[in-house]
């Protein structure tokens, strides 16, 4: 076996990661390689090994999220493999030292949460139809016609409904952000994902505001009960708040 080193992330030197990540790994032992003020979280693997099974992805995520609970860590994208510890220290820790220290500085004592809110789509559409006589009438007309004949009417119906959904979504997504963003250091709104999309947002939250943030998210979930479902993932390592290059 030719050795290689899988790299999970970078953290301050001298921090003990020990037992916390013992249960999560690519099959071996996660350890730290230090250089100056920084340390890389690595695991020795076979250089021939393909990386990309579900277990591999889960390991990457699990190791970093476990570490992030107690220590600031700069997560790497999945799949970084260096040929030796010399490269780990030279090409990562030393070469990019200033950059890494800056990122650690920014991320210090914060953690990421991801909120995804989705409408109960049928309830939302029902609300829209019942609040708009024009929509109701158009819908009625369309349902009585053969599919070809109704094409333009269907497009028009869909356009009006989509517009109504969009304006509710814009307002309610903003309401959610108004409730949660003040409790976070920063946030990134993510790409929409489907007709029932309400909000998908990553938040970076200080440790000492974590409970407030989680409570506020729970309150919002209750406020939207029956109309939208809220899901909060975290705390995780700050993947969304690390510059990519």
Partner 1 sequence: MTAQQQRSRGGYLERPAPSGLADVIEVILDKGLVIDAYVRVSLVGIEILTIDARIVIASVDTYLRFAEATNRLDLYEHGGKDLTEALGDLQEGGASKKTSGAIQGAKKALTGGGKDEDEKRRPAKKSSSRSRRREEA
Which pair of structure tokens corresponds to residue 92? 């990562």
Query: Is the CB of 7 or the CB of 39 nearer to partner 1?
Result: 7
Query: Is the CB of 203 or the CB of 239 nearer to partner 1?
Result: 239
Residue 216 Cβ, how far from partner 1 at the closest point, in Å?
A: 10
Residue 202 Cβ, how far from partner 1 at the closest point, in Å?
A: 8
Give every strand in the sheet of 30-35, ordered side by side.
Answer: 3-12, 38-46, 30-35
Query: Is the CB of 174 or the CB of 215 nearer to partner 1?
Result: 215
CB atoms within 10 A of CB 36: 11
57 by DSSP, 3-state: which? helix
Query: Is the CB of 13 or the CB of 129 nearer to partner 1?
Result: 129
CB 64 within 8 A of CB 107: no
Residue 194 Cβ, how far from partner 1 at the closest point, in Å?
A: 4
Burial of 167 (0-12, 13-18, 19+ CB in 10 A): exposed
Residue 187 Cβ, how far from partner 1 at the closest point, in Å?
A: 14
């Amino acid at each position: 076996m030719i050795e290689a080193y899988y790299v999970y992330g970078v953290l301050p030197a001298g921090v003990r990661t020990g037992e916390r990540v013992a249960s999560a790994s690519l099959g071996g032992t996660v350890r730290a390689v230090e250089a100056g003020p920084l340390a890389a979280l690595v695991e020795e693997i076979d250089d021939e090994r393909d990386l990309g099974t579900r277990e591999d992805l889960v390991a990457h995520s699990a190791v970093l999220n476990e570490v992030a609970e107690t220590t600031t860590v700069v997560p790497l994208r999945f799949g970084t493999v260096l040929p030796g510890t010399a490269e780990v220290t030279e090409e990562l820790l030393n070469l990019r030292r200033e950059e890494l220290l800056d990122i650690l500085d920014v991320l210090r004592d914060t953690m990421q949460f991801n909120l995804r809110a989705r409408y109960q789509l049928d309830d939302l559409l029902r609300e829209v139809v019942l609040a708009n006589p024009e929509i109701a009438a158009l819908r009625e007309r369309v349902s009585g016609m053969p599919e070809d004949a109704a094409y333009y009417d269907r497009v028009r119906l869909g356009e009006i409904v989509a517009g109504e959904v969009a304006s509710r979504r814009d307002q309610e997504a903003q309401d959610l952000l108004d409730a949660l963003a003040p409790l976070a250091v920063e946030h990134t709104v993510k790409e929409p994902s489907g007709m029932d999309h309400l909000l998908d947002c990553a938040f970076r939250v200080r440790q000492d505001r974590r409970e407030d943030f989680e409570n506020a998210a729970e309150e919002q979930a209750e406020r939207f009960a029956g109309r939208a479902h809220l899901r909060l993932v975290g705390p995780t390592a700050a993947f969304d708040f690390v510059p990519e290059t």
